[in-house]
Structure 1
Amino acid sequence: MKKRRLGNSDLLVSEIGLGCMSLGTVENQASEIIQAALDEGINYFDTADLYDFGMNEEIVGKNLKSVRDKVYIATKVGNRWNENKDSWSWDPSGAHIKTAVKDSLKRLGTDYIDLYQLHGGTISDNIEETVEAFEDLKKEGYIRYYGISSIRPNVIKEFTEKSELDSVMMQFNLLDRRPEEWLSLLANKQISMIARGPLAKGLLSEKMLEKANEDGYLDYSYHELKDLLPQIKDKLSDRKLNETALQYVLSHQSVATVVPGASSVQQLRDNCQAANSPSLSTTELDILKRLTKVNKYESHRN
């Protein structure tokens, strides 16, 4: 598995990481997927304190304990479950971050977190306070690096100007090209993108239209998808659709790692095989860019 540097850090992360949210809570099944990921050369595992009320962190930490010095664990903070655990609230305060990190460390069974990410964000947040908390945690050795998970233009802009973050996690795929607007800014500041949702909820897999519904996907109607997806498959007929999808995201050098979820070992292995396939040619990239829309995130710009 090829590796790329994450931002300005010394983390060399595998081009395919494991998005752990879809592991589920059946521990032996989750363990099989994590072990398969390790066998494939994946060294980046992305979880969050929100997933399964923290149980996801526990499973990830337990299964990576024996290889802790060979892998990178990323988790997220900012969402707080209520007492009934039927909803959560947003809290990016320094006080919450400094308490939550210790809870995550305990669940993960580790002394440090390689990448700690703010799990959202709004322009009305006290960003300076959030950044200060992350910087304090770095100095104290609880975290090595930090980033944000956000697609909001105004939030991204503020953090790139007011912090020393190393990554921005965004949904990015052939049907959601909104992050392309930020590639030059991130590259100039040596900030990496972590790409989630690269297969667009399965639309960019061999199952294709089986995963489509009448609501479509973002600004693609169902009828547009019905026309577009077979075209992509036909134009790049030598490739599986998930291969085309993952290689498109990896064609952008600002992307450090792509983190598709996996709910089975076979799904994980298919994604790794696709990532290890030859890069897209200039001709293939041109075809894909002509076929798909250059979406733009219209909200949260000011």
Structure 2
Amino acid sequence: MKKRELGNSGLYVSEIGLGCMSLPNDLGEAKNIIDAAIHADINYFDTADLYDGGRNEELVGYALKGRRANVILATKVGNKMNPDGKSWTWDASKAHIIEAVKQSLLRLETDYIDLYQLHGGVMEDNVEETIDAFDSLKKDGLIRQYGISSIRPTVIKRFLDNSSAVSVMMQYSLLDRRPEEWFSMIQEAGASVVTRGTIAKGFLTAEGLARAAQANRFVDYNAAELTRTVQELSEQSEDLHAAAIAYALHDQTVASALVGARTTEQLLDSVMAYDKLVTDEEISRLRSIVQLHTYKEHRLY
């Protein structure tokens, strides 16, 4: 599997990464999926302290035992669990980040995190304090690099302008092209995009039409537009799953396209789709079918 540099970080991540949020809550099953991912030469694994109240980090840490040095491990911070263990509040303070990383390291059973990401962000944050926390952790060797997960252009630009962040995680796919407007800004800042929602909730797979028929809407597509668009994409594509992954990786601003998997079979479906050849001509044809939506809020201009 090909690898791309994450921003100017010196970290090279597989073009397909495993988004670990959807891993089953069973140590054996989760390990089987991660084993299959590593066998497929995937080296990038993304989790968050929020996922299942920290349980997801524990699963990932367990599954990566003995192989930690061979992978790029990413997690996120900023959503502070409330005492009830079910809800959370936003906390981008330095005090919380410094404490939260310690807990993530324990759950992940590692002494460093390759990529630590701010899991959201609002313009009301004290961004200087937040960035100082990440820079301090980097200086102390607890993290190697840091980034942000956000779909708010105002928040992203402020974070990039004031930090040495190397990545921006964004929901991006053939059906959600909103990030494209901001690719040049991200690239000029020396950062890369990591995509989530790469296959758009399964709409961009062989099951796409069945899933679309059950959906009310997606991004700015209403139900009828979604079904019609997925139908046309399916007709115009050799393999829609393969085309979706190829599309997400078509712009070099994207370093890695995350895929989720609840089973080993689902993971292998995405790996096989990645391995299929998708021509520039097909990508161009499919691009002409879909709408180019833009973010309506949190805009720079």
Deviation at 1:214, TM superposition (A): 4.5
Displacement, 1:63? 1.1
TM-score between both structures, scaled by the size of structure 1? 0.97
Match of 1:148 in 2: 148
Residue in 2 that maps onto 1:206 = 206
1:73 aligns with 2:78: no
Preserved CA contact (<8 Å) 1:77 1:119: yes
Q: How does 1:191-230 map to 2 (within 5 A)?
A: 191-212=191-212, 213-230=214-231
Q: 1:8-23 counterparts in 2 under 5 A?
A: 8-23=8-23
Secondary structure of 2:134's counterpart equals helix
Q: C-alpha displacement at 1:286, in angstroms?
A: 2.2
Work out the CA distance in 2 between the residues paired with 1:206 and 1:151: 27
Equivalenced residues, count: 299
**One-letter amino acid of the counterpart of residue 259, structure 1:** L
Aligned to 2:92: 92
Contact between 2:5 and 2:12, CA under 8 Å: does it hold in 1?
Answer: yes
- Which residue pairs with 1:258 in the alignment? 257
Distance, in Å, in 1 between the alignment partners of 2:284 and 2:44 is 30
For residue 194 of structure 2, give the secondary structure of its aligned residue in structure 1. strand
| CA distance in structure 1 between the aligned counterparts of 2:105 and 2:198, rounded to whole angstroms | 28
Q: CA RMSD in A?
A: 1.0
Map 1:1-302; keep pairs closer than 5 Å: 1-212=1-212, 213-236=214-237, 239-281=238-280, 283-301=281-299
Partners of 2:71 and 2:140 lie apart in 1 by 21
SS at match of 2:221: coil
From the superposition, tell whether residues 214 and 57 of structure 1 become closer, same or farther in structure 2 (CA, over 3 Å): closer
Asked if 1 retains the 8 angstrom alpha-carbon contact of 2:146 and 2:167, the reply is yes
Q: Is the 8 A contact 1:115 1:144 kept in 2?
A: yes
Shift of 1:280: 3.1
Give the residue type in structure 1 aligned to 2:256: T
Q: Are the equivalent residues in 1 in contact too, given 2:172–2:196 (CA < 8 A)?
A: yes
- 1:186 Cα deviation after fit: 1.6
Identity of aligned residues (%): 51
Counterpart of 1:74, as a letter, is A
Contact 1:33–1:268 (CA<8 Å) still a contact in 2? yes
8 Å Cα contact 2:53/2:86 also seen in 1: no
Q: Is the 8 A contact 2:31 2:62 kept in 1?
A: no
Q: Under a length normalisation based on structure 2, what TM-score does the superposition of the two structures give?
A: 0.97
For structure 1, which segment, 253-262 or 210-219, has the greater mean C-alpha deviation from structure 2 after superposition? 210-219
Whichever residue aligns with residue 186 of structure 1, its letter is I
Match of 2:35, SS state, is helix
CA distance in 2, matches of 1:214, 1:22: 20
- Whole-angstrom distance in 1 between the partners of 2:198 and 2:192: 16
Does structure 2 retain, via aligned residues, the 8 Å contact 1:251–1:279? no
CA–CA separation in structure 1 for the residues paired with 2:260 and 2:222 = 24
Structure 1: distance between partners of 2:13 and 2:97: 25
Runs (4+) of structure 1 exceeding 4 A deviation are: none
- C-alpha distance in structure 1 between counterparts of 2:33 and 2:184, whole Å: 35
CA contact (8 A) 2:161 2:189 kept: no
The DSSP-based 3-state class of the residue aligned with 1:13 is strand
Q: CA deviation at 1:278?
A: 2.0
Gaps of 5+ in 1: none
Q: Does structure 1 retain, via aligned residues, the 8 Å contact 2:147–2:168?
A: yes
| 1:279 Cα deviation from its structure 2 partner | 4.2
Q: Please say if residues 243 and 283 of structure 2, whose CA atoms lie closer than 8 Å, have aligned partners that are also in contact.
A: no
Amino acid in structure 2 at the alignment position of 1:257: S
